[in-house]
Amino acid sequence: MRFLNWIRQIIAVTGMNLRNIPSRPGSSIVAMLGIAGVVAVLVAILSIGAGFEKTLAGTGSPDTAVVIRAGSSSELSSGIGSDDARIVSQAPGIATGETGVLASAELYVVVDVPKRSSGTDANVPLRGVQDTAFEVRRNLRIVEGRRFESGLREIIVGRGAAREFAGLDLGAEITWGSNQWTIVGIFEDNGSLAESEIWTDAPVLQDAYNRGSSFQTVRVRLESADAFSTFKDALTADSRLDVSVERENDFYAAQSGVLTNIVNVLGGSITFLMGLGAIFAAILTMYAAVSARTREIATLRALGFGGSPIVISVLIEALVLGILGGLAGGLVAYFGFNGFQTSTLNWASFSQVSFAFAVTLPLLVTGLVYAVLMGLFGGLLPSWKAARLPITTALREL
Amino acid sequence: MSESLVQVRGLTKIYKRGSERLTVLDNLDLDVARGDFVALMGPSGSGKTTLLNLIGGIDRPDSGSVQVGDRSIDQLSDRALAHWRSAHVGFVFQMFNLLPVLSAERNVELPLLLTGMSGSERRRRARTALSLVGLEDRASHKPAQLSGGQEQRVGIARAIVTDPELLLCDEPTGDLDRKSGDEILELLVALNESQGKTIIMVTHDPHAAERAKRTVHLDKGRLSMEAAA
């Protein structure tokens, strides 16, 4: 009975508080905007890491393996001779396609291309591949133009690179060093890392950059994801080779780790500081809102309403403002940043990766949780004060 | 002499401001009989409102006792005191203290939210209280849509809706023009005479005090004079 009475009081006072919100739109909007701003920044910053992670994660496939020189952490620092590449392509577990055994020996150089946004030069990967590369990466397709011809200085450009960098348009000619290249195609690969790259014929690239017959990686499509162990064991047991073998998805997950951590730590720090500011703003706003109702609250207490229902009802009001602010911030982040294209340096390859901010559901939930916490902290002190102020003092407030 | 409803004995209230101690009520005794209508008068700072607050249980004395009916309210816990107030006392405030977002009916209904009454029963009682103060046709109006006199009528309806025996009125006509003030006093007299409510009313206005059955004067925290009307 006493508990029911307590609940009734909370419902009654909360109802009044919530109905009060439109009568003081200024202070309510300030509280909501403060919280919305923090949530929007939090979600936007974290969406950078999520987008980068998504791009690299989308790149990897568990039934594809990447072979690099043992001790190398990236393609750039790896080196595999043509004989070793041939041995790798003869290992068990590799699938066979229309172009033969699905192993693509590749080399990888970095070229300077100006960014469209700033005009400053950035590193873009130029990858030399064999014909089998188009079958190893099963999702890759030419969306404009055609493939490069073997033996010609022709290149095809990933959709992300074409969007981010100047001069990479279909039909354009571009010069790196003493070599002139013609762009003959644009390709897509389900938004993967490959879309940040430029591709050409491997022997042409070896010749242009004096690489002899060496490669840096061999990428193979396995018969199935389960064939990985067979393939890896065969290579590591082969005394002629000194290579390391990883599943493609693991290879890129490791590369994304550095940047994702940086973004998350930076984002977390900035958001924490902004959140402190927003909590103080929410406290001040709630203080103002509660102060304006000091006499109303005192009247309720004089009539017999208890202190704890008043604390809880003010907290609920702050919570509602927090949730509304959180939803508003989440919407701003989603419509303002989701899919926003940019590029950044992939620290593992020292080349640019094009990716889109990804405002994901977990990030929106994180933002909402943060908003709820800000609302709760913001409402706690003012509600406590409102319930503790002597009734006789509060009744004299104007 | 009728049976006492309110018995105040040796009541002392001291306010501390820094190192300064201000004795607002000084060892005060007072009896208010059932069905009485008492006007509390005195200069500003004489302790009238403090005495009213102590009798109503919204403040606590430094020493002395306050007994209302058979209950010594100075011994009650905060929670028990709040519960006691909701059942036994009706407050009428100078500034009406209505909640601006609620209609007249919802304002009157407020004290009934503390009971286990059903919603329809609460609304029926609120309507009855509003009709007793002559405002049944203003039930859906918000306070801002009412005149000062009407607001105070709503305040009185809120005070009587739980049918308390004791009404405590702090300057109920202090914010009203003479005509509206007279109407409020008329209403309080009617509640005292026809409903048997015991009323203690703080006022500065001798004209208002004349409507009470007796007047108690306070000065510097003590009773200075008592007069029957």
- Best CA proximity match to A108, nearest among A224, A197, A192, A172: A197
Give the list of residues 6+ apart from residue A144 with CB closer than 8 angstroms, or none.
A170, A185, A186
Alpha helices in A172-247 (DSSP H): 202-208, 228-237
d(CA B96, CA B202): 14
CB contact under 8 A, A391 and B58: yes
B208-B209-B212 Cα angle (round to 5): 105
Looking at residue A177, its pLDDT comes to 80
Residue A229 CA: distances (Å) to CA of A102, A203, A223, A233, A246: 17, 31, 11, 6, 10
pLDDT at B6 over 60: yes
**Chain A touched by B86 (CB under 8 Å):** yes
Q: Can you give the pLDDT at residue B69?
A: 92
Name, of A377-386, B76-85, B95-104, B123-132, the range with top average pLDDT.
Answer: B123-132
Among residues A326, A316, A327, A312, the alpha carbon closest in space to that of A386 is found at A312
Residue type, B191: L
| C-alpha of B36 from chain center | 13
Which has the closest alpha carbon to A183: A236, A285, A111? A111
Mean pLDDT of chain A: 85
Query: What residues of chain A have any CB closer than 8 angstroms to a CB in chain B?
Result: 1, 4-5, 8-9, 12, 16, 19-20, 23, 295-296, 299-307, 390-392, 395
In the chain, the amino acid numbered A326 is G
Structure tokens that stand for B122 in this block: 């609460």
The Cα B218–Cα B226 span in angstroms is 9
**Cα B97 from chain centroid (whole Å):** 13
B102 in contact with chain A, both atoms CB, cutoff 8 A: yes
Residue B117 touches chain A, beta carbons under 8 Å: no
Residue in A195, A158, A186 with CA at minimum distance from that of residue A58: A195
- The whole-angstrom separation of Cα A189 and Cα A59 is 8
Identify how many contiguous H helices and E strands chain B contains and give both numbers: 7, 10
d(CA A71, CA A78): 8
Alpha helices, DSSP H, located in A155-306: 159-164, 202-208, 228-237, 248-291, 294-303
- Cβ contact B91:A303 at 8 Å: yes
Q: Show me where the domains of chain B are located.
A: 4-225
**Quick check: A353 and A256 in contact, CB under 8 A?**
no
Residue A292 is given by DSSP the state: T
Residue A357 contacts residue A48 (beta carbons within 8 Å): yes
CB atoms within 10 A of CB A173: 10
* Mean pLDDT over the full length of chain B: 92
pLDDT on residue A347: 60
How far, in whole angstroms, is CA A359 from its chain's centroid?
Answer: 8
Asked whether the beta carbons of A298 and A307 are under 8 A apart, the reply is no
Residues in chain A: 398
B185-216 pLDDT tens trace:
999 999 999 999 999 999 999 999 999 999 99
- Whether the predicted pLDDT of B1 surpasses 60: no
Contact B114 A303 (CB under 8 A): yes
pLDDT tens-digit readout, B119-174: 899 999 999 999 999 999 999 999 999 999 999 999 999 999 999 999 999 999 99
**B62 neighbors B21 (Cβ within 8 angstroms):** no
Residues of chain A where predicted confidence (pLDDT) is lower than 50: none
Q: Are A97 and A289 in contact (CB under 8 A)?
A: no
Best A21, A297, A392 residue to mutate vs chain B (most B CBs within 10 Å): A392
Task: Tell me whether B79 touches chain A (CB under 8 Å).
Answer: yes
- What is the C-alpha separation between A54 and A2, in angstroms, rounded? 54
**What pLDDT score was predicted for residue A25?**
75
Burial of A12 (0-12, 13-18, 19+ CB in 10 A): buried
Q: What residue in B sits closest to A390 (Cα-Cα)?
A: B59
A157 and A182 Cβ atoms separated by less than 8 Å? no
| Set of chain B residues whose Cβ sits within 8 Å of the Cβ of A304 | 82-83, 85-87, 111, 114
* Contact between residue B123 and residue B106 where contact means Cβ atoms under 8 Å apart: no
A4 to chain B, closest Cα gap in Å? 8
DSSP state of B10: E
Alpha helices in chain A (DSSP H): 2-20, 25-59, 82-89, 133-136, 159-164, 202-208, 228-237, 248-291, 294-303, 307-337, 361-388, 391-395
Structure tokens at B212: 């009470």
Quote the tokens at residue A280: 């103080």
Q: At what angle do helices A25-59 and A248-291 cross, to 10 degrees?
A: 180
Extract the tokens encoding A110. 């970095």
Residue A318 carries which DSSP code? Answer: H
**Which residue type is seen at A141?**
R
Order of all β-strands in the sheet with B222-228: B89-92, B166-170, B198-202, B37-41, B214-219, B222-228
Alpha-helical (H) ranges within chain B are 48-55, 78-88, 104-109, 119-132, 148-160, 178-194, 206-209
Q: Is B111 an interface residue toward A (CB < 8 Å)?
A: yes
CATH superfamily assigned to domain B4-225? P-loop containing nucleotide triphosphate hydrolases (3.40.50.300)
β-strand A179-188 against A154-158: which pairing, if any? parallel
* DSSP state string for A138-160: TT-EEEEE-PPPTTSSEEEEEHH
Chain A residues with CB inside 8 Å of B111's CB? 303-304
Alpha-carbon gap, residue B179 to B207, rounded angstroms:
12
What does each C-alpha distance from A307 to A9, A235, A369, B75, B184 come to in angstroms? 10, 74, 27, 19, 32
Query: Side chain identity at A146, as an amino acid letter?
Result: R
Query: Which residues does B121 contact at the CB level (< 8 Å), separation at least 6?
Result: none
Pairing type for strands B37-41 and B214-219 reads parallel
Of A16, A305, A391, the CB nearest to B102: A16
Full-prediction pTM beyond 0.80? no
pLDDT of residue A353: 67
CA dist., res. A372 & res. A382, Å (int): 16
Q: What is the pLDDT of residue A94?
A: 94
Nearest to residue B199, comparing CAs of B43, B62, B6? B6
In which element (H, E) is residue A105 found? strand A103-114
